[in-house]
Amino acid sequence: MSVIDPHTLAAAYALHALPPDEVDAFETHLDSCGPCRQEVAEFLATAAQLTAPAAPPPSLKQSVLDQIAKVPQEPAHASRPPELQGSTGWLGRSGRWASGAGRWTLAACLAAAALGGVATWQHQEARDAREQANQARAQADQVAAVLAAPDAKTRAAALSGGARGVVVTSESQNRAVFTVSGLDAPPGDKVYEMWFNDRGTMRAAGLLESRSGDQTVLMDGTLQGATGMGLTIEPAGGSRTPTLPPVGLIEFPA
């Protein structure tokens, strides 16, 4: 029976495509493999970008409706005159066939409005996508630097609801990376907020980036001698100090 090299499983792990027994084995492997931790973080960042939804702006519909209001149209009962039935010419015998050009004019105006709106939207979407990609790349680089640091240390702990949290710290990078799996979505308009535990004093360290139960994030701020971290459920936008009991607490590795 062949044995699968765990170094080839990073992508499948990030996409939740491994069976439970292989997940446990791979997470044990991650505890001692910096390159795999880095690769998993990069796959997670890429997957987050690819699944970001995009939709045409509401202004596009209004732009098309405005063009409809401005373009004269034939009455709904208008039809091709009987004397022109069977004519193959553009103007026909009397020239009244030109009334059909109104429909072509309307179609052209609608197409111009729609295409112009789509082009503007696409340009904005492309610019926003580049900015998001640059931000994601910068964060992925920082995450990778922590995970691959020679002095990186890992500590895992169980969170409420059966979720699992893993924190990786690096004194040389002075940063911490938090990975969570199996986390239930927060209720209503609540959010998950991370905290540095400065020997009993909780310092805000950012919000989890989405309602997804599986993600890897760079904690906001530097270690500054923190001895651990916590995760709480807070009102939308986060809080300056924890307002609810923690979902979980993890001590940083010594």
Average pLDDT over all residues of the chain? 75
pLDDT at residue 177, as a whole number: 92
Over residues 161-176, the pLDDT tens digits come to 888 888 999 999 999 9
Of the pLDDT bands very low, low, confident and very high (cuts 50, 70, 90), residue 98 is very low
Over residues 9-57, the pLDDT tens digits come to 887 787 677 788 888 888 888 888 888 888 888 777 666 554 444 555 5
Measured CA to CA, the distance from residue 149 to residue 167 in angstroms comes to 14
Higher pLDDT, 182 or 54: 182
Measured CA to CA, the distance from residue 175 to residue 148 in angstroms comes to 12
Measured CA to CA, the distance from residue 48 to residue 65 in angstroms comes to 35
Over residues 131-140, the pLDDT tens digits come to 766 777 777 8
Over residues 61-83, the pLDDT tens digits come to 555 556 555 555 555 444 444 54
**pTM: predicted TM-score of the whole model, two decimal places:** 0.54
The pair phi, psi for residue 169, each rounded to 5°, is -120, 150
pLDDT at residue 91, as a whole number: 42
Measured CA to CA, the distance from residue 13 to residue 34 in angstroms comes to 15
Question: Where is mean pLDDT largest: 31-45, 47-61, 83-97, 106-120?
Answer: 31-45
Question: Where is mean pLDDT largest: 36-45, 87-96, 199-208?
Answer: 199-208
What would the 3-class secondary structure string for the chain be? CCCCCHHHCHHHHHCCCCCHHHHHHHHHHHCCCHHHHHHHHHHHHHHHHHCCCCCCCHHHHHHHHHHHHHCCCCCCCCCCCHHHCCCCCCCCCCCHHHHHHHHHHHHHHHHHHHHHHHHHHHHHHHHHHHHHHHHHHHHHHHHHHHHCCCCCEEEEEECHHHCEEEEEEECCCCEEEEEEECCCCCCCCCEEEEEEEECCEEEEEEECCCCCCCEEEECCCCCCCCCEEEEEEECCCCCCCCCCCCCEEEECCC
> In the predicted model, is pLDDT for residue 239 greater than 90?
yes
